[in-house]
Structure 1
Amino acid sequence: MGAHVDPVLYVRFDEALATGISFAAAARAAGVSLTAAKDRWKKIGGMPMQKGRRGGLPRPPEPDPVELPPVPFEKVEGRLTYFERCVIQVRLHEGHPQRRIAAELQRSPSVICREIGRNRGQDGVYDARRADRLAAGRRRRDREPKLAERPELAAAIEEYLEQGWSPKLISEVLKKDHPDDRNMQVSHETVYKALYVQGRGALRQDLRRCLSLKHRARVPQGRATNRGRPYREALRISQRPPSVEDRAVPGHWEGDLIIGGDGRSAIGTLVERSTRFVILLHLPGGRHTADAVAEAMINAMGELPSHLRRSITWDRGTEMADYSRIMLELEAPVYFADPHSPWQRGSNENTNRLLRFWFEKGADLSVHTAEDLRRAQDMLNRRPRPTLGLRTPAQALTELLLPTAA
């Protein structure tokens, strides 16, 4: 090892060697001569190197497989949501055991067991819509409105309303003034109900004029909140089974919209990850609202056998806000990619690029008929693909549809 070699170069050599490249490649990357590198390696007692093109540091032996305990997570509490019931229906149809469903939803297995037992129909089939309706019926209680039972509390609220206080401020002040007396505390939603909901009287209805906005009616807070957060309970792409990622099992689809130049017209695109088979969704007039996209997708994919519609992955656009209906009708889970992550739907992004040959950027896509879309779809599905060994997507899909020879 010559004294003229900068020690920093040897540090770079060690770092390059640690990446797994060959001895010679590490020396070139660090700017050190091969002879100097070998001399130094011997001097510091370096281990024998692997031979051949992939030579380098020896790979450590594979550790014996160890059965790891399950990763603990904090279970979700509270009532089951409609979306969770949709997931239960789909998973039961797929034959998943209840414990596996519970783990996916981060619920206790007993919660899932009770939910299915209580809300399963006489035919033994669990239906999410029926289950949600039955659960809501059990929650209804015929009881006297809270403020009607507490005239002292109602009187205090009326006094504050006459001074122009908002229900939110009234709720916070009462909680501050009576921290230990639950009978003198009330939520702002209860105040609104007493003013707006018929049969929830207990407050003078003329007090509505004291509110700053002076609305004639009020939208419940929960409904207004959900309108801007349609994907709060949706399945994330990280929850997809590993078999989707490696394309080993067919029937997993990726989808998105191609938007026209006017921003108002669109075409829906779906591509099967294993065969690259494409389905184009005709949206009459280019209308791509949630109900229009759901209707088109259900009609197009409903013709496929169940083993070829195992899952759908989509972007978080508002056009998929009706994903619960899609899940139930197609009996396939819908996963959503992370925001601003188009590479997570690589097959669909590449397909949309190919489709621009027929549907150019900036064009009005509403002029294309269903027959135009069918023509472009068939041409793309008959194009040989290198990733399929120059087979066409149509050929690959046909092989999956035809029964295997005995």
Structure 2
Amino acid sequence: MPLSVAAQLVGVSGDTGQRWWRHSGVMTLPAQTGARGGLPGTAPVRCPGEGTRRRALTSEDRAVIAAGLTSGWSHAYIGTKIGRDRTVVWREVNRNRGPDGSYIGAVAHRAAHERRRRPKAFKLVENQDLCERIAEWMDQGWSPKLIALVLAADHPRGSMDRVSHETIYQALYVQTRGRLRADLHQQLSLQRPRRRHRTGPRCGGSTPYAEAFKIGQRPPEVADRAVPGHWEGDLLIGAASGSAVGTLVERTTRFTILLHLPGRHDAESVAEAMIREMTKLPEHLRRSITWDRGSELAEYRRIQLALDAPVYFCDPRSPWQRGTNENTNRLLRFWLAKGTDLSVHTAEDLQRIADTLNRRPRPTLDLQTPAQRLNQLLTQAA
């Protein structure tokens, strides 16, 4: 008879009957209607667990997996032995094997049990060495995302020495969460003491360039980053004194050049600084320049003639079209903070900042550095 009917006959609730049945572990009960042994008018009842798969592998399952791997069985054959799909076996082996590639059933079962424990211990509470490494990298301007990627690359098998970027953000923004320094949020690019949602794209002014090249006229090789030598540029504006620093970023390698603009940043000064710095590059690494519609590049014709490279301008109020440069400027704000007087930085200071950024591993470069990528291009050309 159905389990619910059996529970009624012994005077207990259906939930109690289901609990007794689950704890027995050896009973197989078919679902039947009232016409076949149940009470009249009762609907078919499916026994708990009937027709469904077990959610978690047992220690016996893992023992069979270990024995099967030792015997050279395939994942599919092991799956048939324990009544699970081959993908379950494949995930289990890859998740719980040891550093040497071996799989031991008892060790795997213990590891799976520890991962299921709740609540989990917060990694940035007990691991003081990891906290110090994160703080050191953030003091150098690294983002939580970059730190998480580098830790994952250094510890590919997973351990207490790797965390997600969200764990770092929680330690920075959630009170009593982790043991990172309370002032470490000031090392983030936006230096915000608390998180907030995006409010939409920023809107800025525009300057018409009737005869200039538009960004829609750039060749396709610029958009897909297939050919190096295409640059994006902009100005980082400082305090009210009018101080500014020019930035140029190569799209393929993310190599950054900073333009020293002491005293002023008008069109003539920007053109002189850009020509001075970019003439140091070989010709095949200065194919084009993309800039925002700012008045500081009114001398773009002079730049095109001196560098033999076209200058393209973004659409009005569309700084996102220079995404590589915008992201790099955000990183540079670690050293060139908003609201500060940027004129205090000498040419040597800017070179040191650019070198530091160019030696930082980038996720978009498979954790290589822009300097390494640029050196590869120069070596291939030679």
TM-score in terms of structure 1 length: 0.43
